[in-house]
A = this chain, B = another copy of it.
Amino acid sequence: MELVKKIEIITNSLELPRVLKILEKAGVSGYTIIENVTGTGDRGRVINDLATQALTNGYVMSICTEKSEHQLVKAIEPVLKKFGGVCIVSDAKWIAH
Taking Cβ atoms with an 8 Å cutoff, the residues of A that contact B are 1, 4, 6, 10, 29-35, 37-42, 48, 57, 59, 63, 73, 76-77, 80-81, 86-95, 97
Residue of B nearest to A20 (CB): B40
Residue of B nearest to A77 (CB): B95
- Asked whether B97 lies within 8 Å of A89 as measured between CB atoms, the reply is no
Pick from B4, B33, B40, B63: contact of A37, CB under 8 Å: B33
Pick from B35, B48, B88: contact of A6, CB under 8 Å: B88
Pick from B30, B77, B90: contact of A42, CB under 8 Å: B30
- Asked whether A63 lies within 8 Å of B88 as measured between CB atoms, the reply is yes
- Which residues of B lie under 8 Å from residue A87 when comparing CB positions? 94-95
Pick from B88, B92, B95: contact of A94, CB under 8 Å: B88
- Which residues of B lie under 8 Å from residue A89 when comparing CB positions? 1, 92-94
With A31-B39, A87-B95, A88-B93 already in contact, 14 other A-B pairs whose C-beta atoms are closer than 8 Å: A6-B88, A29-B40, A29-B41, A32-B59, A32-B86, A34-B59, A63-B86, A73-B95, A77-B95, A80-B95, A88-B94, A89-B94, A90-B91, A90-B93
